[in-house]
Amino acid sequence: MTELATEYLEVGSGTESRRIATLRRPGKAPGIFWLGGYRSEMTGAKATALDDFGAEHGLAVTRLDYSGHGQSGGDFLEGTISRWLEESLAVFALTEGPQVVVGSSMGGWLAVLLARHMHGLGSDRVKALVLIAPAVDMTEELMLKGFSKKELKALREKGVVEQPSEYSPDPYPITARLIEDGKRHLMFGRGIDVGCPVTILQGGKDPDVPRDHALKLVQHLLTDPVTFTLVPDGDHRLSRPEDLELLKAAVEREITVPPEQLTLDLGETT
């Protein structure tokens, strides 16, 4: 398997400029475009499994570290949904042809925002979305609404809340900047139109993004075909070998189904 060299892309200008690290595997379309979660890196288990899948099938695979993450520049505490979406769109622009966009947790929210943006431009380059425990509207629904009075006070007075995480020995900082910016991108409360099929993989024992939250997203996808798969004993990461096989199967299904087959299926639905 070809070893990939990290490439860098400058996003933003002036004081907003940051150096974004990417891993880009050349190959045929449809490609796979990976968006990771909050505080995750593009070399994680799911991203690596998808890259291996792409290499085996000769598919293009594109990954990135958001600013403040992994090998990218920038301060994590300056990170917002707006900044990370801008970076995701900039790296997506480097790809060619249709893409199956795969987003995990916060990356699921960014994937939906990216697909909606591209669809709004009249582009059909997002062939499908595959979302793993999608944390749509997480800043409001999964962070702010769960803060204690003490944490709300810290957010007001210090501009940051630190919460323990089972995924890291260090606490996860959540900034007032992130919470406030997130309000600009809230999606629940009105229909969401992404213009492509959506597959959702959700762990039944996910403590971070409960199944009801993922089902709430399903209820808002009013115009696009949706497949929802619950893994009863699955956790938030869904990174066990059997979970990774499920993920690869979901991506393979979206890659191999031709557009005309989707049109035929939709036409026969009553």
Domain boundaries, the chain: 7-136+188-268
CA neighbours within 13 Å on the CB side: how many for 196? Answer: 34
Per-residue pLDDT tens over the stretch 152-192: 999 999 999 998 877 778 888 999 999 999 999 999 999 99
Of 132-141, 163-172, 225-234, 256-265, the range with the lowest mean pLDDT is 256-265
Mean pLDDT (whole number) for 7-24: 96
Mean pLDDT (whole number) for 10-28: 96
Q: Of the candidates 161, 202, 197, which has an alpha carbon nearest to the alpha carbon of residue 179?
A: 161
Question: At which residue do the structure tokens 């999606």 appear?
Answer: 187
Per-residue pLDDT tens over the stretch 67-118: 999 999 999 999 999 999 999 999 999 999 999 999 999 999 999 999 999 9
Active site positions, annotated: 105, 206, 236
pLDDT band at 264 (very low <50, low <70, confident <90, very high): very low
Q: How much is the pTM? A: 0.94
Q: Give domain 7-136+188-268's CATH number out of 3.40.50.720, 1.10.12.10, 3.40.190.10, 3.40.50.1820.
A: 3.40.50.1820
Question: Across the chain, what does the average pLDDT equal?
Answer: 94
**pLDDT at residue 263, rounded to an integer:** 42
- The alpha carbon of residue 171 and the mean position of all alpha carbons in its chain are separated, in whole angstroms, by 22
- The alpha carbon of residue 113 and the mean position of all alpha carbons in its chain are separated, in whole angstroms, by 9
**pLDDT at residue 262, rounded to an integer:** 47
Q: Which amino acid is at 126?
A: V
Q: Residue 267: is its pLDDT beyond 70?
A: no
Q: Of the candidates 140, 261, 146, 242, which has an alpha carbon nearest to the alpha carbon of residue 197?
A: 261
